[in-house]
Amino acid sequence: MSETNTKSKRLKHKEDLRRKILEVAKELFLKHGYDSISIRKIADKIGISPTTIYLYYQDKSDVIYALHQEGFKMLATQFAVLRNVEEPFERLKAMGRSYIEFAIENRDFYELMFIMREPIEFVNKNYACEWEEGGAAFEALLVTVADCKAKGYFKQADLHAMSLYVWATIHGICSLKLQGHLDHVVNAHFPEKEQQLSLEMAFDTLVLNLKSIQ
Amino acid sequence: MSETNTKSKRLKHKEDLRRKILEVAKELFLKHGYDSISIRKIADKIGISPTTIYLYYQDKSDVIYALHQEGFKMLATQFAVLRNVEEPFERLKAMGRSYIEFAIENRDFYELMFIMREPIEFVNKNYACEWEEGGAAFEALLVTVADCKAKGYFKQADLHAMSLYVWATIHGICSLKLQGHLDHVVNAHFPEKEQQLSLEMAFDTLVLNLKSIQ
DNA sequence: TTAAAATATTAACACTGTTAATTATATTTG
DNA sequence: CAAATATAATTAACAGTGTTAATATTTTAA
């Protein structure tokens, strides 16, 4: 065996175990939620010692950050398809629905990506401003809002302010929904309405408002 | 000493210690954040045994819930003043600003009240639908939006949907701001703008949009 | 004063992340 | 091939966490 061959084999093994750790972390995460991700549980499931994990990730928040990144890749994949929607306002609506869909179907990921403080603090500490995965998603929104403006929508609004606003609104809807606040309010204050429709109600209002801005 | 007297003295002491526990919990919370609230630290600071706390609160999340309630009382107090603003749209704007102010100045409380899942889950489990503190705040918004509608604003929008929408948007703005996402995006995508103004930008856009709905 | 009730404590369990020191394994060199 | 070296993984330990059962202390009632 040549030197380079064994070297690459070692590298491959390192990468394999690194990925395996992430995989098990993800499994625990999806099955039992964020709080049940524990270094010891991950190690047990793989059959290694807990301290071995520290040879592959600097600490627990590093593992969590890796999950965080996976989430952003998933969202980017979902968004990528929407580039094919030509009419910009239609695309904007589709992005909104797609974002909400992602939040509902990947609840734990969404919380990791947009609600919890820890992971984004890790990004700010370790990756400063060169955080591509997060930027790409917002860039897509920015472009779509710009396209809308080019077609005559949102004339009086600033591009950046408008993009920020749309994101904040959709995120607010998702956040309140996931935390149970939306259903709680619908239950307590207008029980005649279907709880399930709380999301649609809020989203439809946004669309209605966006239309009246044009 | 009469029987009732000693009895009431005991009750008073029980309430005193119950309050003391909460007070110390709040102190830890405000000084070092949510994660540093620990039963053992609270007990140490008071000079009692950790298990004693379980005679006054059923568990840790019960202590947290008590803090949660304090937060809602604080917000309600802030909102109460705004009933004096006669013009409903002005009042709505003031409520929005006041809400944002609360979120920024009482960041930890805001996270406890509207971002973390644990406390609201405790509410849903133990208090079902009869949760007054939370309801009052939304009721205030509902009334104001209704007043706006009565004055000719938001004609085409549903009262409940509109209220939900306004809350979601403001919450989204606060949530993204507190989590650092807002500043991160402003930094990364439009560095020419002042980071500090990210909040105002988003809020002003909301007001602008609300105006164009009327 | 003694029996009963209320209050508080100690000891223990089963966890958590993380580090330093040690052992085992694989690779490279003489 | 054997010894030296570099890499990888482990054990033991520290300092925490929430929570429960059993025990001790204090206060109240008879």
Q: Report the residue from B111, B172, B189 with minimal CB separation from A169.
A: B172
Pseudo-torsion of CA B31, B32, B34, B37, nearest 10°?
A: -90
Task: Tell me what the mean pLDDT of segment A125-152 comes to.
Answer: 86
pLDDT at B1: 35
Pairwise CB contact (< 8 Å): B201 & A161: yes
What pLDDT is recorded for position A187? 84
pLDDT at residue number A11: 62
The nt closest to A54 (CA vs C1′) is C18
Instruction: Please say if the pLDDT value at position A74 is more than 90.
Output: yes
Write out pLDDT tens, residues B124-183.
Answer: 778 765 677 778 889 999 999 999 999 999 998 999 999 999 999 999 999 999 998 888
Closest Cα in chain A to B201 = A161
Distance from CA of A213 to the nearest CA of B (A): 6
Q: Which residue of A has its CA nearest to B188?
A: A129
Pairs across A and B, CB distance < 8 A: 166
pTM, to two decimals: 0.91
Lowest mean pLDDT among A49-63, A94-108, B187-201: B187-201
The pLDDT assigned to B2 comes to 36
The pLDDT value recorded for residue A117 is 86
CB contact under 8 A, B179 and A114: yes
Beta carbons of A200 and A186 less than 8 angstroms apart = no
Q: Which segment of A18-32, A107-121, B17-31 scores lowest on mean pLDDT?
A: A107-121
Mean pLDDT (chain B, rounded): 90
Q: Are A110 and A178 in contact (CB under 8 A)?
A: yes
Percent of chain B with pLDDT over 90: 71
Is pLDDT above 90 for B214?
Answer: no
**Nearest 5°: phi and psi at A159?**
-55, -50
Interface touch A168/B173, C-beta < 8 Å: yes
Q: What is the pLDDT of residue A4?
A: 39
DSSP code per residue over A49-92:
-GGGGGGTSSSHHHHHHHHHHHHHHHHHHHHHGGGG--SHHHHH
How long is the CA A10 to C1' D4 vector, in angstroms? 20
- Which residue of A157, A179, A202 is in closest CB contact with B205? A157
| Class of residue A84 by CB neighbours under 10 A (exposed 0-12, middle 13-18, buried 19+) | exposed
